[in-house]
Amino acid sequence: MKKGRCSPIISMANVIVIVLCLIFSILPAAIANPRTELVYKFCGVEQADNVSEFNQNYANAIVAMEPEIKSNKFSIYGEGLAPNRIFVLAQCMDDLSKEDCQICFSAIKTQLPGCFPHISGRVFFDGCFMRFENYSFFYESSSPHDVKRCSDAVNLKNDQFRDVATKVVKDVVTMAPVHGGYAEGRRKTYGLSVYGMAICWNTLDEKACSDCLSNASTAVLDCLPSIEARSLSVGCYFRYSEFESSNGSNFFNSKGAIFMYLVFILVAVGVCIIAILVGYIVGTTLHEKRVKHQTKHNGDSSDLESSVMKRSLHFKYSTLEKSTDNFSEERKIGQGGFGEVFKGTLPDGREIAIKRMFLTTKIRNEEISNEIDIIGQAQHQHLVRFLGCCFTADDSFLVYEYLENKSLDLILFDPKKKKELDWKKRLKIVEGTAEGLEYLHNDCQVRIIHRDIKPSNILLDSKYRPKIADFGLARVNIREKGSAPLVIAGTLYVMKHLNLD
């Protein structure tokens, strides 16, 4: 029987796409820096009247703030009723990209619940700030709990370093209030380099920002000759350092780096062009050879149905039609790129899952045969059990056991249903899935590599025991691996884009 193969031309194209994707994804990743290092955390002493309600108000506020953080890198929000009302502020440093800001916010929002059941707390990361209280604090510029952090390391050129650092601090304090509450500065003198950065939270006006940074500058200058210092205030953040930490001084600001980047791209494009030419020549040659032998495989359909009948796996179409009320929409329990899944009830009361696949005759001969060959040999307590199949002129049907709790994703991503999965059940699901994969990879007669493991392909029975599905739908590429043939399995839509050669 003819097995599905990707042509070398398509395979080479896939390789090229992968190479280019890697190039353009690795470079931004090297530049990204969300700066999620914890600098300072403070929790108040007063506790909430109703801890559960206060916690829930915090969770609701976080959800409401996320869209604004994503678009503006800043958000304030109030949630709930007194005395358990909560007010939250979060802001990223201006030099962070929106993507880095989301990463920083995702990390910092998990820190504040550590202050519960107290009704106040604040956290400073190097890239973002977050605070909550049970009152509206958004316009505060100072607090008794404002602190400074001085580095233990000192610059040996004491007086010269003090002079340069003082000038940088004054520059930044002057610029930030009149430039939207953010400024960076640097000076290089006496062979020394000092960098400064200041930011006010967006709720402060120009005067409040100026007052906050004035106090902050006084605090950090007391740290001299430390090589680095920070002022951490409820209204602003100030830092000076021997080392430039701003993301504004990234990879692309270097002319040499830009040149290397362009060279990297040109080399990659050249390699891709050569690969296309080689792939075209090899692919054309092999395609001509395959065309000569194509007529040898015209009898696949009859062979397939004969094989099915011999295995006693055949279901009558009328039986499946009756069990699903003529494949009514009410009986449909799922749909994918390859077809639909219906719930059926047999005359003896057994519940079954029927997969109707909309495939052409040519594809059906290849794919359904693969499915039956593979799953017929794969029998394990953590694999969905195959019961049989049915073929008509237009459709192909595969019949499986029906699992009451359906797929894991329907429970895991449902706010209410996911509560049914305590950690003990989740651990058993993970262990069961791992056992099923271990069997497919190492113990099955035909080695199967499932390339599409995801929650929707993990089904659960009435006791939440997992069973792996869709391990037979595959583009098959059998090779000798010792004595075990190899099958790479996954959903048709995903697998048709992969290079299996």
Could you give the CA distance from residue 501 to residue 477 in angstroms, rounded to a whole number?
8
Instruction: Take residue 361 and report the two structure tokens written for it.
Output: 């005759």
Which candidate, 147, 151, 95, 150, places its Cα nearest to that of 123? 147
Element (H, E) at 150: strand 147-150
Neighbours of 185 (CB within 10 A): 20
Q: How many degrees, rounded to 5, is the angle at CA 295 between CA 373 and CA 312?
A: 25
Residues 6+ positions from 25 with CB-CB distance below 8 Å: none
Q: How many degrees, rounded to 5, is the angle at CA 145 between CA 158 and CA 128?
A: 75
Could you give the CA distance from residue 350 to residue 346 in angstroms, rounded to a whole number?
5
Candidate list 146, 452, 461, 501, residue with the active-site label: 452
Which long-range CB contacts under 8 A does 1-4 form with residues at least 24 apart?
Answer: 1/297, 1/300, 1/303, 1/365, 1/366, 1/369, 2/294, 2/297, 2/300, 2/365, 2/366, 3/366, 3/370, 3/476, 3/477, 3/478, 4/366, 4/367, 4/475, 4/476
Instruction: Take residue 253 and report the two structure tokens written for it.
Output: 């600001």
Provide the 3-class DSSP secondary structure of residue 469: coil
Distances (CA, A) of 257 to 33, 225, 264, 274, 416: 17, 33, 10, 26, 51
Neighbours of 405 (CB within 10 A): 18
To the question of whether residue 316 is assigned a binding role by annotation, the answer is: no
49 in active site: no
Would you give the end-to-end CA distance of the chain in angstroms? 18
Instruction: Take residue 180 and report the two structure tokens written for it.
Output: 């939207």
Give me the sheet containing 351-357, strands edge to edge: 332-336, 339-345, 351-357, 396-401, 386-391
Q: Which residues are catalytic?
A: 452
Known binding-site residues equal: 355
Which residues line the annotated binding site for ATP? 355
